[in-house]
Amino acid sequence: MSLRDRLKRVRESRSAGDGAVAGTAAYLAGSMVSPPASGTQGFFDGWNVGGPVASRELAFPVDLPETFDLRPFRRKDDRFVPDEVPSDRLIFFDLETSGLSGGAGTVVFLAAFARWNRGILSVRQHFMRDYPAEGEFLSACIGEIGDDSVLVSYNGKSFDEPLLRTRCILNRMRPFRIPHADLLYAARRLWRWSLPDCSLATVERALGRERGPDIPGEFIPEAWFSYLRNGSDPRVGMVMSHNAEDVVSLAAIAASCADAFARPLLRKDIDLGGLGRKLVEYDAEAALPVLRAAFKSGSGAAAWPLYRLLAVSGANGEAAEVLAAMEPSFAALSLRSGRAERGNRDLGEALEFAGAALTFASTEKKRAMAERRIERIREKMLRQTCCNLHFRSHE
């Protein structure tokens, strides 16, 4: 059963009302975390409101492999991210903030951290009840981040993590430093072409997760300000569920991405070309069939990595086929010319491709390269003709 099907079943079982998990009162029917009862402090139901930082715990069933392969998510600057970790060391996190543009005046007022263990995702949320509690709020957040864990987020490398770091600095707390895998980049590879955008909401919908009434992100800061001014705002309850929903989706997207990279050829919803281009960075063997399949189904993006892979592995015949089937470009035509010149010594063909490459040369440098190539081939042709004449004269 594909992961997608499994997620679908999870959803069905939830709507049937038999998905409740022991130990948490707040886990409710449907995939939606409880929309708050309207009313003054209704949204604090289920929260521990003993101090200036309110907290609560929730749990959801989520399927993840026991060991999580992080390589699909690793980028060039992610040196600290290990190849793989036991899935119970992943920390899915998401922050709600008082502004969307960042800067020292933007605070985090709500955070969700989720850990997975044996099919259950335990979500812990912390809510800062007013500004002076920021120090305690941040301590609670940092307390969620163990030394040996790996953070997982959606766009968190550009937004959430730097912001949390800024808040720590401003509160004179030592900022944390642990590996961080951002799912956004992998998600873009998989769904860029098939989905209108790669926002968390769009991707989760494509994976079959449905939310009930939700608050759009741009209204979240105002909900928090209004809560501060008036002591309550019903929208804050929606923000809290929104935040919890986000980390659950995060885990679901992580599972779907991991599945896609583990068994790409079984998936129909993803862009094999994009996936193959990532895969080839760390597993050439696994990437080859993926790129082949992608290329066959018309993915232009797969052509070059496939060609390079074939050329390096010595599969010259297939490499030439790929090259021949490529969109004409300066690079492709130059290579074909080169192959004709050296490989099968068909100088006429080499000249033809070099001439075609010249028409695609968009810069001075490329033009010069093409012209040099043409000249060289012409010289070779001239020499060959001379040789032939020479031989003939001795006949």
The residue ranges that bind other proteins (CB under 8 A) are 98-105, 107, 130-132, 162, 165-166, 169-170, 221-222, 225, 228-229
Calpha distance 129→222 (Å, rounded): 15
Q: How far apart are CA 33 and CA 24, in angstroms?
A: 12
Min CB(48)–other proteins separation in Å: 22
d(CA 275, CA 268): 12
| Single-letter residue type at 30 | G
Of residues 132 and 146, the one with the C-beta less far from other proteins: 132
Minimum gap (Å) between residue 45 Cβ and other proteins: 25
We find the least distance from the C-beta atom of residue 357 to other proteins, in angstroms, to be: 21
Exposed (0-12), middle (13-18) or buried (19+): which is 33, by Cβ within 10 Å? buried
Using CA atoms, how far apart are residues 226 and 285, in angstroms rounded to an integer? Answer: 56
Closest approach, Cβ 231 to other proteins, in A, equals 12
Least distance in Å: CB of 75 to other proteins?
A: 14
Helical pair 272-282 and 183-191, crossing angle rounded to 10 deg: 130
> For the CA atoms of 289, 291, 293, 296, what is the dihedral angle to 10 degrees?
-140
Under DSSP, is residue 174 helix (H, G, I), strand (E, B) or coil?
Answer: coil
Both tokens of residue 1? 């059963």
CB-hemisphere CA count at 13 Å for 68? 31
Q: Would you say 228 or 286 has its CB closer to other proteins?
A: 228
Check: CB of residue 83 under 8 Å from CB of residue 73. no
Based on CB atoms, which residue is closest to other proteins, 98 or 241? 98
Beta carbon nearer to other proteins, 221 or 276:
221
Distance CA 111, CA 137 (A): 9
Q: Which residue bears the tokens 């970790």?
A: 85
268: helix, strand or coil: coil
**Of 103 and 196, which has the nearer Cβ to other proteins?**
103
Instruction: Give the nearest distance from C-beta 160 to other proteins in angstroms.
Output: 14
Distance between CA atoms of residues 64 and 98, nearest Å: 32
User: For residue 96, what are its two tokens?
Assistant: 């709600």
Q: What whole-number distance in Å separates Cα of residue 232 and Cα of residue 224?
A: 9
| Region label for 96, one of left (φ > 0), alpha (ψ between -120 and 50) or beta (otherwise) | beta
Of 130 and 379, the one with the shorter C-beta distance to other proteins is 130
Total residues belonging to the chain = 395
Strand, coil or helix: 58: strand
- Please, what is the minimum distance in Å from the beta carbon of residue 166 to other proteins? 4
- Smallest gap from Cβ 110 to other proteins, in A, equals 15
Least distance to other proteins, CB of residue 103, Å: 4
Q: In terms of CB distance, is 221 or 264 closer to other proteins?
A: 221
Nearer to other proteins, 193 or 225 (CB): 225
Task: Select 230 or 393, whichever has its Cβ closest to other proteins.
Answer: 230
